[in-house]
Structure 1
Amino acid sequence: MLFISSALFVAFFVSILTIKVLLPLAPHIGLVDLPDERKKHDGAIPLIGGISIYTGVLIASTLFVEQSQLLNLYFISSALLVFIGTMDDIYDLSVAPRMIFQGIVATLMVFGAGLYIHNFGNLLSTGVIDIGSYGMIFTMLACVAAINAFNMIDGIDGLAGSMSIVTIASVAILTLLNNNTADILLPLILVVAIIPYLFYNVSTRNPRGKKIFMGDAGSMFMGLTVIWLLTIATQNTPEGEAVFRPVTALWIIAVPLMDMFAIMLRRIRKGVSPFKADNGHLHHICMRLGLSSRQALWAISALAVLFSLVGILGEVFQLPEYIMLIGFIVVFCLYAFSLQHAWKFIRTFKQ
């Protein structure tokens, strides 16, 4: 217990220290978010949350987590994303360089670390579905999708951080329920390293002028972290056996995943780029309904927790995988339909 407590203290302390060091430097290097027609915040906000989380996790893991090639490749891949995310935060890069770096990271994950999703479990009650080496292509696409899912959902204070905590904490809970205490430290370090960022991002006790954002560096890092943890937890690897079934992963990453796919489908139907920013995300809908940014955060976080509980309880009670899959598809269809017709609902609601 002392060992774990020490690791968590280091992650928390380093994350806070990084924020305090970068706060006065960010404006001088252009690492700030300026308000515009889509961003209604006041003043230039430092985009240093992601760097602080990465630094806290890196130092704590180096000191306390058992070192392995897998862990080293995770931090190398994460460093690449934090770098390109930071460049994007400063220079507002186009989609192409971001996608190139995401593709490189996905390649490192699959071919460098040897991590890929090939076993989908007994989804159809006809036996285990295993796509073998085709899983490499699937995992590369899933990696890019997860990175962009967390990048897209980072639209209001605290949302990307809260979604990350819900998913990573769910992985930790399922790992603990599987009596696998050896692999629980990294998820715990990740959760604790996010907390200082949330304080500076959403807390009403945070002194005025010290607000920070996660930035693309942070949201992309969170997306990679989530897909990396989920792949390890759902697949048998040389490092250990699967902790929970693949279908469970859908539920504990449900909100970012459904929001991304629903939004991209809507954009494609409108004939615009699926990566073109708009005001159609779930948090935008919540705020159009009259919720404040803080209320929208609580509502969406509660929804994410509810979905994660469905996944965790389905795993605990070994609910048939096809039922969990059908349930997820039904929920996704309802979600996509609601977003598609959200403005009609809002007009009716406000009449």
Structure 2
Amino acid sequence: MTQLPWLHWLAMFVLTHVLIALLAALAPRAGWMDRPGGHKHHQGEVPVIGGLAVLLAGLIVMLAIPDWSLKLRLTLLGMGLLGILGLLDDRFNMSARWRMLAQALIVFGVLWASGLSLHSVGALLPGLAPIQLAWFALPFSVFCLVGVINAYNMVDGMDGLSGSLFVLIAGPLWFWLLYAKADPQLPTVLGLISIGMLAFLLWNWPFRWRIRRVFLGDAGTLPLGFLLGLVLVESSQTGFELSPTSALWLLAWPLIDTVSVLLRRLLNGQSAFSADQRHAHHLLLRAGFSVRETLLIAMLVQLAAVAIALFGLLHGAPDWLMAALFLIVAFSLHGLAIRVERRGRLFDRVLLTRVGGDHV
């Protein structure tokens, strides 16, 4: 299944463009428009159909592929249900509590039916065997996947950011799994969606030559975060193509940024899911970096994290070392964010109270 004819990849790229154009035309009537207001400061109403287009294009292309396994069917079912949940959230702005409950139920159903779970988190202590989760494996896996889904969803706050992060995570992961000769089905889905996301970026990147501005929407971020998390669970547990700690590095920007924001909100007595401008990309923008400069910084940081993950895999770095380095980096960046907010300065740049503009 990894050796798809080139026509499938081309069809995914072209079909994504066609569906984005069609859905963007339908979006005002269906109410799938993102309107400025509250913590949203973009200019004008923007269709939030990019993720839906990518998902539909992927499903259509994959219908031409025979011999779907039960695991693949369940994966696509989970992505479809999360896409519907995202559409409802885009349209009706669901509460965080009900949205996360629905996510947990969908993730639990897919993991339970497919038999996938994080039954081991690796050898996190030097000289000891890998830690086995036993009966706690399934609930811990649901917690982790819901966390990944929401981490990816929460970094979707600036043109080009979520799409670029997906490509920088999924692309290297896809090629690594091919190199490691993993079970071909989920990596192929990852590859097809990556091609679709490249097409989407031509509509979303903050550059003048983009076709027309569209957003990914929760209908995209929820199933795409789920796909990333599920592929990482499978490849770190079944065929051992990845170590569990390398998955942390592959998801570095979304995980570190989201956990840091949640902790800072809680420490300030706010709701963990209150809307504000405390994400890393917000701090960079408030410090006077342009949208393009902020996007470039995020991409370089994510690329560095991916390089560390691949270096560790190629050289067999122990789990405890990879985990310790990740925690050092994560706590250092969290401390930096706290310091920046308290001082109101980043690299001698005074932070604005908030940022707006056409790309945020």
Quickly name the TM-score band, shorter chain normalised: over 0.9
Q: Measured at CA, do residues 309 and 45 of structure 1 come closer, stay the same or move farther in structure 2, by a change above 3 Å?
A: same
Displacement of 1:60: 2.0
Q: Measured at CA, do residues 251 and 28 of structure 1 come closer, stay the same or move farther in structure 2, by a change above 3 Å?
A: same
Of residues 253, 260, 264 in structure 1, which corresponds to 2:251? 253
CA contact (8 A) 1:267 1:273 kept: yes
CA contact (8 A) 2:288 2:349 kept: no
Matching residue of 1:310: 308
Q: Give CA deviations for 1:116-135 in whole Å, capped at 9, x if unaligned.
A: 11111222131121112211
Q: Measured at CA, do residues 225 and 181 of structure 1 come closer, stay the same or move farther in structure 2, by a change above 3 Å?
A: closer
Displacement of 1:181: 7.6
Q: Does 1:7 align with 2:24?
A: no
Higher relative contact order at CA 8 Å, sep ≥6: structure 1 or structure 2? 2
TM-score, normalised to structure 2, is 0.91
Matching residue of 2:354: none
Matching residue of 1:40: 41
Of residues 205, 210, 221 in structure 1, which corresponds to 2:209? 205
TM-score, normalised to structure 1, is 0.94
The letter of the residue matching 1:219 is T
Displacement of 1:348: 6.6
Where structure 1 has 5 or more consecutive residues not aligned to the other structure, the ranges are none
The letter of the residue matching 1:342 is V
- Name the SS of the counterpart of 1:63 in structure 2: coil
Of residues 148, 162, 165 in structure 2, which corresponds to 1:160? 162
Q: Measured at CA, do residues 318 and 348 of structure 1 come closer, stay the same or move farther in structure 2, by a change above 3 Å?
A: closer
Which deviates more, 182-191 or 317-326? 182-191
Q: Measured at CA, do residues 32 and 57 of structure 1 come closer, stay the same or move farther in structure 2, by a change above 3 Å?
A: same
In structure 1, distance between residues paired with 2:76 and 2:4: 22
Structure 2 counterparts to residues 45-124 of structure 1, below 5 A: 45-64=46-65, 66-124=67-125
CA contact (8 A) 2:78 2:110 kept: yes
Which deviates more, 61-70 or 81-90? 61-70
Displacement of 1:219: 1.1
In structure 1, distance between residues paired with 2:335 and 2:141: 27
Percent of aligned pairs sharing the same letter: 26
The letter of the residue matching 1:120 is V
Of residues 272, 275, 282 in structure 1, which corresponds to 2:273? 275
Aligned residue-pair number: 345
In structure 1, distance between residues paired with 2:223 and 2:259: 19
Kindly report the root-mean-square deviation, in angstroms, between the aligned alpha carbons of the 2 structures.
1.7
Q: Measured at CA, do residues 181 and 348 of structure 1 come closer, stay the same or move farther in structure 2, by a change above 3 Å?
A: closer
Which deviates more, 78-87 or 105-114? 105-114
Of residues 190, 195, 202 in structure 2, which corresponds to 1:192? 195
Q: Give CA deviations for 1:294-335 in whole Å, capped at 9, x if unaligned.
A: 211111011001001000011001112211111001001011
The letter of the residue matching 1:298 is L
Q: Give CA deviations for 1:244-278 in whole Å, capped at 9, x if unaligned.
A: 11111010001101111111111111111111111
In structure 1, distance between residues paired with 2:314 and 2:208: 37
Of residues 169, 173, 176 in structure 1, which corresponds to 2:175? 173
In structure 1, distance between residues paired with 2:34 and 2:284: 23
Matching residue of 2:355: none
Where structure 2 has 5 or more consecutive residues not aligned to the other structure, the ranges are 351-360
Q: Give CA deviations for 1:68-95 in whole Å, capped at 9, x if unaligned.
A: 1111111111111111111111111222
Matching residue of 1:334: 332
Q: Give CA deviations for 1:35-67 in whole Å, capped at 9, x if unaligned.
A: 124222221100001101111221222223740
In structure 1, distance between residues paired with 2:76 and 2:190: 14
